[in-house]
Every structure is written in structure tokens, then in C-alpha cells.
A and B are shown apart, each in its own frame.
Chain A
Amino acid sequence: MNRYFVPLGSFVLLAIVLAIGIRHSPDKGLIQSPLIGKPAPSFALPDLTAPGREVQASQFSGRWYVFNVWGTWCAECRAEHPALVAIAKSGVIPLVGLDWKDDDGDARRWLSELGDPYVEVAADRDGRAAIDWGVYGAPETFLVNDRGVIVHKQIGAMTAEIWQRDFLPLLPRRAGS
């Protein structure tokens, strides 16, 4: 093979990857995640804020909750944090955090400095739980209903506007009022 074709060949490969990337990217926004309507994956992970304890999915059965995937290494998570704090303050629904592939010390420092919107934070140190949840990249936010079914998924930073538009209308009136 002529070496002058190497750049062209590499570029063709890259273009294929990008094309697949584009084909997938609508999933992230327009077409819903395949997990929607499916039961939320179960998990049992160490509690970030209370060493020695575990956080389990079963703790939240029978309740609506928001499941937010974040990490201190993720710049956009910082951007969405005030919105999460505001949602938690509104008291509409409990937030459960999944601290993804993170250093526990950093994560605790982050929460003490930026405020802790979560009722529980599970530390997913090796990222296994995030894979079960089909997480593309932090931040992602899931809405889980009282039967343990994922109702909605948001990829990218949460904002007050997205919360109002996409999440609040899905909540039952009792929980939403």
C-alpha cells in the first residue's frame, strides 16, 4: 500500500466514527434513551457522605426521585450545580446523586463548597453503576417514578428552564404541587 494513502485511509476511518457519532447523537436529545420506560437498574454502592454505609436503589422504591450523575472532574457538572441546588430547595422531589469515577475526598469537598442538593450520594468509583444506567457522559439526570421506572432522561447540564419544561410536567400532581 502506498504510504501517501495513509492519511486518506485514516481520515475515512475517522469519518466513519464521526458518522456513527452523529447517528447516536440524536439519541442523546431527540430520540429517547432505550432505558426510558424500563425499570431503573438496581445498585448498592458505598455512601459518599457516610463512610461504611451503603446506598441502595431499593431505598427509594415507592417514591419518585431524580437520579443525577456527576463528578468533580466534569466542568459542566459545576455549571448545572446551582440548578440542582435550587431544585432540591424547592422540595418537590428528592435528588439522588451518583458520584461517577471520582475521588471521594474531592467529591465531599465539592458538596461542602457548592452545597449538597442530594438526599443520598452513591460513590460509583469504578463506573459500573453508570454503565448499567447507560450513561454517555456526565452530567446526566434521570427521573424515576414510584414504580421504579425511568420516566425521563436529560443529557447535559440541568437548567431551571429544562426542569420547568421537561421534568416538572411529568411529575404527579401530588408530588409536583
Chain B
Amino acid sequence: MLPELGEFALILALLLSALQAFFGIAGPALGRARWQDSVVPAVAGQFVMVLTAVGCLVASFVNNDFSVQYVAENSNSALPLFYRVAALWGAHEGSLLLWIFLLACWTLAVAIGVARLRQAFAVRVLGVLGVVSFGFLLFTLATSNPFLRLDPAAPDGRDLNPLLQDPALAAHPPILYTGYVGFAVAFAFACAAMLEGKLDETWARLTRPWASAAWAFLTCGIALGSWWAYYDLGWGGYWFWDPVENASFMPWLVGTALIHSLAATEKRGLFKSWTLLLAILAFSMSLLGTFLVRSGVLVSVHSFAADPTRGIFILIFLIVMIGGAFSLYAWRAPALRSKAGFEIVSRESFLLFNNILLVVAAATVLGGTLAPLISDALHLGTLSVGPQYFGPMFLVSMLPLLALVSVGLHAKWKRGGVVEARRPILITLGVGVVVGLAVFVGAFADAGWLTPVGIALGVWLILSSLIDPLDRLRRGLSLSRAVLGMTVAHIGLGVFAIAVTSVQSFTHERDIALAIGESAPVGGYQFRFDKLESVDGPNYDGVGAQISVLREGALVAVLHPEKRHYFVQGSVMTEASIAVKPTRNILVALGEDLGAGRWSIRAQIRPLINYVWIAALIMAIGGVLALSDRRYRTARVAAERAAAGGGSAAGTAVGEQGA
């Protein structure tokens, strides 16, 4: 019964989203007050229906209802309860349902957060979100229904992909998708502003916290995915430039540009059309990512069963949404041009350069991701694009960006020049260079040119970010959450630069063949193979090794890497074992049985690797701090006053009701 109830709820949600989209867009356009009034109830109804559908599918998983195809394919009666719930997003159909659910949550939040504003605008935002929701619901029901029954029911399930049976991965998709979907809100704000033909500082102030929230979630989601890859894929890599990783990284880069561009729009009413474009682009990148992952156009480690009909559907959806938004942009953006000007060495121009570099970086990643596809379509032969392309290309835009942030932070709005801050900038740069060179000369011999540059830029950025806040504190001035958030996020970026540089430069990695009792040196540590034993899990068995890590005779860590064999899917998984130290991680993975009691073992020492993820977390915290700034709460009151005062530019005053 439950699966049918879930499917029925999804159909009702589809109908409600259609109402939400129609009333939300047509209501203000035609000035029908009654139509506008029905948008929020449609949003609430849709949320309840989607929640019901999710609840039904979760219940089917928990009850081990293997008459549901999706459950039978992604769960097993031996699977622990936690993973039976997480298996909801273990494959395509459930991931989509999760996407829809998160969109419903965001939409509800928007309805609560902005419903007290000028009604016409809030209603248009909800209308655009309704279109997005309608597309995804239709997609799910037409091509990816998670509630399909199996007749006869399977005796037991085929189990969740063992790669996904991991706590970090259970949390990774919901957080990542929250970020992805969150950009739909900024997108809807942009479309609503264009539909209305009015874009002012209040608009930017309203949009900014939503964009920052989505960005913070996306940051955490990507970091969590990278962390998972590091310890669960088993081989100690943390970023592969895989199409799916790129798909999450592109919206992040554009989203970063968006939150900075919004700052200029809010403060100075500048870059309006540029901000609109970035808001469209950030969500487009999310949709494009979905397309790339779900259509099977590109082969990736992450792709589940891909299906061309799904690809066609998403492509059509992509054309309607993004093509529609860009058409709207071409039509309306010229009227929304900014009128203010700025001098060449002002904060505005630094933000503009920041935007350009970030968009260039996103374009670089997009180009690399799509290159095999384009080359294939044009019959230019096959092409493979790997880290050899992405690594250097990415640095081309990122290194200047780091330097730019350190200087740009001290530039004033509107007025030219950074002369006043010249001394602190130069002093912090000097400290950065000294630290970079010290590490380069002092620490390890085989480091490349990137080592001193990356570390110097990172140190410079951290110190430079601290100048202004410390100066304000010294002078007894208060520090707004916005400034604090910005400072924290930039420090996070600096930490990130230092950590990534160190990991890339100073990783020691060796594959060693050891028999029990033998040991081998790697990067100043001694790895001793103590024993091998069998392991038994709920849905797997395998072998586990015990490996002692010693430094100058003293025991540093005892590691237990495993090689697991999952019964149902017959797959073998390498479970690496990692000793986490403040300054480095020591990872050991068990390779192949080489015969005669010898095993191949990968030993890897990565310095500062944890700080790569901690840095991402710091950035996300910065984003959250910034969006909790007081002015976003007071903005609402100001907007309400403005709404009570005047009508909208599009002349829909008939439908307007003050708050």
C-alpha cells in the first residue's frame, strides 16, 4: 500500500507544483490577487505531499519491502538500519526524490522568509521555483519512478553499493544537494526581478543570504565528498577531476563569484546584469551537473545506471529552464543596467576581477569536462582529459585570485587607491614570502616552484585578512557579522591554499610488498606487517591486516586495513586504515595477495591533508556568519516599509498588497 500512496502523493505534488508555477507567474503578470493568494497554499501542499512520498519510500526501505524494485536493487535484509535509510539516495530514483524534497524544503523556507515582503515579488519567486519543481517531479514520475513494484517480489535485495556504505557518504548527498538546489532560490530571485523589471539594492540584500546559504552547503558537501573519496575509495586520493566532481565544483566557483558580485550590487548598486547572469549561471551549472551525471553522456566513477531517455528529458528541461532564463535576460537585463561608476583601483574593480577569474576557472573546468564530448561530436578523434590538464589550468586563474584577494580586501568602495593600506599589505606579503621560502629551503628537497608560491600566497592571505578586523578591534570599534564572516571565509581560503600546496608537494607514497613480520621504510616511518586475520561483517567478510607504524623505533600507530568481500554484489572493497595526526595522516591500504605470504601494501603519508577539509569547513562557517548579519533581518522590515510605500515598476499595483 505504502508505495502506491507515495506515488499518488508525488502525482499530487506535481499538480500542486503546476498550480504554484502558473499562479506564481501569471498572477502578478495579469494582476489577479486571488491567483497570487493561492501560491503559498500550493507551496505548503506540495511540501506535505513530497514529505509523504519520502516517508513512504523510507518506510519501504526500513520494512525491507523487496516488492519495490528500487528497494530490492539498493538494499538488503542484512544491511544495517542506518544504511537502509541512507539507501534512499543510493541510486538514481531516490536521489531525484531527495532533490525534490530538498527543493520543497527550500521553497517552504522562501515562502516563510519572504512572504511578508511585497507580495508580487515573493509570489514570482515561488512561481519560478514551482517551474523547477514541476520539471523535476515530471522527470521522476515519467522516467525514474522509485515506487515501481516488482512482481513477484524479490526474496532479498541486491544490497546497497558497498562504496556507499559509509557514514560520510550517507551524509554527503543530502548536504551537497542542499547546496545544489539552494542555487535554485538565487535563480528564482533573479528571474523574478527580471519578470518584474526592477532590481535594486534591496533585491541584492534579499538574495544574498540565500546565495550564501546555498554556497555554504555546497562547500561542505564537496568537502565531505572529497573526504569520502580519500578514505573510502581506498587509495588516498582526494580529488580526481572526475566529471561528477567537476559537476559539483562548477556551481561552487560560479556561486562564489555570485556572492561577491551580490556584495557590489548591494553596496553600490553595481554589476546588476552581471549578478543576474551569475545567479542564472550558478543554477545552470547545477542542472548541467545533473545532466552529465544522469544521462551517461560522460563516463564517471560516480555514474549509476545511465539511461539515454533520461538524458533527453533532462536536456529538454535544461533548454526550457536555462534557455528561458537567458532569453529573459537578453530581453530584460538591458533595462536593469547599473548607473553608478567606479574608479579603476576601487573595491568594485577588485570584485570584478575576482568574478572574472572565478568564471574563467569554472569555464576551464567546464571545457575540460566537456572536451571529450565536443571532440567526439566534431569527429576530431578521441580525447582524454585528466589531472594533467585540470591541475595547471586551474592554477592559472587561482594563483592570481589569491594575490588579488589579499590586496583587494583593503580597497575602498568607489574611491580609488589602496595607498593607505600599502604598508600592511607589503608587510604581510613579506611575511608570506619569508615563510614560503623557509618551507621551500628548509623542509624537503624535492619540492617544486609551486611550494613556496602556494604557501606564501596562503600566509599572505590569512595575515592580510586579519589586518582590518584587528585594527577595528584595537580602535574599540564593533565588528559586524558580515565582516567577521568575510574574514573567516578568506582565512579558510588561505588555509586551503597552504594545505593543498603541502599535500601536493610533500606527500610520501610507496607501494611495498611485505610478508608477515617484515617491515619497510616510507618517508621516515617504518611500516611493519604484524599479522593477517579474517574479518566478518554483517554483509561482508574479508581479511584484515595489522600494520604497526614506527618512527625511530617508537610506535606511532597501529593500523588495520581491510579487504572486504561483499556477499550480495560480489564486489571487493579496499578499506584503508588511517592514523590521523595533527600535522599529517598516515594511510595504509591492503593490496593484492602476492603469494607466498606476501601482500602488496600502499603506505602514504600526507601532511596537512585534514586542513584541506577543515579549510572548506572554515569557509562554510564564514558564509553562515555572513548571512546571519543583522542587516538581513532588518532588511525585511525596510522592504516591508518600501512595499507599503510604492508600487512595482511593472505596473502590477493592482495585485499588490502591503504586508
Contact = CB atoms under 8 A, between A and B. Distances in A.
Interface of A: 2, 4-5, 7-8, 11-12, 14-15, 17-22, 24-26, 28-30, 71, 73-76, 78-79, 82, 85, 100-101, 109, 112-115, 127, 130-131, 134-138, 155-156, 159-161
Interface in B345-376: 370, 372-374, 376
Contacts of B308: 22, 25-26, 29-30
A30 B296 CA distance: 12
B384 A4 contact: no
A17 B311 contact: no
B382 A4 contact: no
Given A8-B327, A115-B592, A25 B296 contact: yes
Contacts of A11: 284, 322-323, 326
Contact of B376 (A8, A21, A73, A109): A21
Interface string B298-316: 1111010010100110010
Contact of B297 (A14, A21, A114, A160): A21
A82 B572 contact: yes
Contacts of A12: 323
A114 B591 contact: yes
A160 B333 CA distance: 55
Contacts of A100: 384
B315 A7 contact: no
Contact of A113 (B333, B570, B602): B602
A150 B418 CA distance: 67
Output the residue of A17, A20, A25, A79 with the most chain B CB within 10 A: A25
Contact of B377 (A17, A78, A160): A17
Please report whether the interface of chain A is mostly helix, strand, loop or mixed according to DSSP: helix
B352 to A, nearest CB: 16
Contacts of A29: 296, 306, 308
Given A74-B384, A130-B382, A155-B299, 14 more contacts: A5-B330, A7-B329, A8-B326, A12-B323, A19-B315, A29-B296, A29-B306, A73-B386, A82-B571, A82-B572, A109-B511, A114-B591, A135-B382, A161-B570
27 contacts: A2-B330, A8-B323, A11-B284, A15-B315, A15-B318, A17-B373, A18-B291, A18-B297, A18-B373, A19-B315, A21-B297, A21-B376, A24-B377, A25-B306, A29-B296, A73-B384, A75-B240, A76-B299, A79-B301, A112-B511, A136-B372, A137-B382, A138-B384, A156-B299, A156-B303, A160-B570, A160-B571
Contacts of A5: 330
Indicate the size class of the contact surface on chain B. 35 or more
A82 to B, nearest CB: 5
A114 B592 contact: yes
Given A24-B377, A130-B382, A8 B329 contact: yes
B273 interface: yes
Contacts of A159: 571
Given A20-B377, A24-B376, A112-B600, A4 B315 contact: no
B637 interface: no
B334 interface: yes
Contact of A4 (B284, B297, B311, B333): B333
A113 to B, nearest CB: 4
Contacts of B281: 7
Contact of A127 (B300, B373, B382): B382
Given A7-B277, A136-B372, A137-B382, A22 B600 contact: no
A75 B301 contact: yes
B227 interface: no
B291 A101 contact: no
Nearest to A103: B388
B319 A15 contact: yes
Contact of A73 (B296, B322, B387, B513): B387
A8 B308 CA distance: 25
A101 B384 contact: yes
A73 B388 CA distance: 9
B295 interface: yes
B381 interface: yes
Contact of B330 (A8, A20, A79, A138): A8
A18 B513 CA distance: 46
B73 interface: no
A130 B384 CA distance: 11
A45 B237 CA distance: 30
Contacts of A75: 233, 237, 240, 242, 301
B377 A21 contact: yes
Q: Which 8 A-B pairs have the closest CB atoms?
A: A20-B377, A8-B326, A115-B592, A113-B511, A73-B386, A21-B297, A75-B301, A21-B373
Contacts of A21: 295, 297, 373, 376-377
Contact of B280 (A2, A7, A25): A7
Interface string B111-137: 000000000000000000000000000
A146 B296 CA distance: 32
A22 B376 CA distance: 11
